[in-house]
Structure 1
Amino acid sequence: MKNVLLLSGNENSSHLFLGEAKRTAETRQVPLNFKASVMADLTPELLAEQDLVLLAPQTASDADAAAMNTQVPTVDIPNDIYGWLNGQALVKFACQELGLSVVGAR
């Protein structure tokens, strides 16, 4: 199981997105454990638990400024995935970034 952190500036939208991504991963038996956080709640301990950090578009510059001083791969979520809150596409994107098979994920 790989841990994926969705980091955004708006807790409401990230939790909607997170729910869809979790449902998709569970339904399609993709080994991803999604968690969401906002920049203000980000801690070194939380980062250390992650295999991948996905940054919402509005958070990318803040995260760079926060100097994601970690060995965890950190990637911006494409606007078309985040803008539509497409959980299925997010699961596929996370799998690609982690080098996991995306069988069953569309």
Structure 2
Amino acid sequence: MDKMFIMLCCGAGMSSGFLANQARKAAKKRKLDTTIEARSHTDVSGYLSSISILMLGPHYGGELSKWKSLCDPYNVPVVVIPQDIYAQLNGDALIQLALDTLGK
């Protein structure tokens, strides 16, 4: 499997940062070659050419079409992180969602 670069996006990158930490631990347990970063919504555009998937915080669900429009030219899928995964900081479920979305 190729290296995955998973980008989590929220307002300031703070709350998603906690989830990113849990996802890194889960990816390590699964022996996956991944980079997982949490960024503010204002920083994401600088990464579009290098990320594998963009995962939005649940509070950005209403902006999904906007983000898809930005990511489509780079063939980067965009998903909204389900509230239960986000609230529970469930890194393993986040990794599984990314793998399922990417068809891996």
TM range (shorter): 0.7 to 0.9
Aligned ranges 1:1-106 → 2 under 5 Å: 1-43=3-45, 45-62=46-63, 64-65=65-66, 68-70=69-71, 71-100=75-104
Gaps in structure 1 of 5+ consecutive residues: 101-106
Distance 1:98 1:31, change over 3 A: farther
- Per-residue CA distance 1:21-58 (angstroms, 9 max, x = gap): 01110122023321111112222x31111111111111
Q: Is the 8 Å Cα contact of residues 57 and 81 (structure 2) preserved in structure 1?
A: yes
Q: Is the 8 Å Cα contact of residues 39 and 63 (structure 1) preserved in structure 2?
A: no
Which residue identity is paired with 2:79?
V
- Which deviates the most, 4-13 or 15-24? 4-13
Give the alignment's Cα RMSD to 1 decimal.
Answer: 1.8
Gaps in structure 2 of 5+ consecutive residues: none
Aligned length: 99
What TM-score results when the alignment is normalised by the length of structure 2? 0.82
What TM-score results when the alignment is normalised by the length of structure 1? 0.81
Distance in 2 (alpha carbons) for counterparts of 1:56 and 1:4: 13
